[in-house]
Amino acid sequence: MPRCFWCSDDPLYQAYHDHEWGTPQRDPALLFEMLLLEGFQAGLSWITVLRKRERYREVLHGFDPVKLAALSDEYIEELMQDPGIIRNRLKLKAVRRNAQAWLAVDNPGQWLWSFVGGAPKINHFTGRSDVPAVTDEAKAMSKALQKAGFTFVGPTICYAFMQATGMVMDHTTDCDRYAALLR
């Protein structure tokens, strides 16, 4: 199956590409999970985060924002000892802060989708050089998230989040998922 240029031959990566990435996602729970995971990716490769995703689901209470908003400093210190996750204190504290900010937003899923007008933006990129790392929509989302109290939500992270959750469809035209998602 022809896939996007970024997808390696790792079976986990291929499954993510083939079944998740770029597929419009409106479930607030999954949007929140992906926003946090994209924050963990900062400075790392996505496959690193993807390999740790199941452990994150375990130790971060299934990404339940109510539970995460109440994380204690002691629990964050426990997480710093867990080799199954990315042990970065700032990113772990951002989980708590972002959960608190998420809970303060009225209808966060709809709000996030508003940055693309409520419908997926379909791009028709032919190759790696066409796909941007940042767009005006991602810059606007980043600015609004930061104003709402979120951290680890720079424009590059926001654009990766938009791609992952199908707010923008950036499968390249030579990828099998491109045609499937156009339908």
Residues labelled catalytic: 16, 38, 46
| Phi/psi-derived region of residue 141, left when phi > 0, alpha when psi is between -120 and 50, beta in every other case | alpha
Determine contact, residues 32/25, Cβ cutoff 8 Å. no
Distance set, CA 11 to CA 18, 50, 138, 160 (Å) = 10, 11, 29, 21
Distance set, CA 122 to CA 35, 86, 140, 173 (Å) = 21, 33, 18, 11
CA distance 153 to 145: 7
**Residue 114 neighbours by CB under 8 Å, 6+ apart:** none
Cβ burial 41-76 (10 Å sphere, 16+ → b, else e): bbeeebbebbebeeebeeebeebebeebbebeeeee
Tokens of 84: 């199954």
Tokens of 90: 């700032």
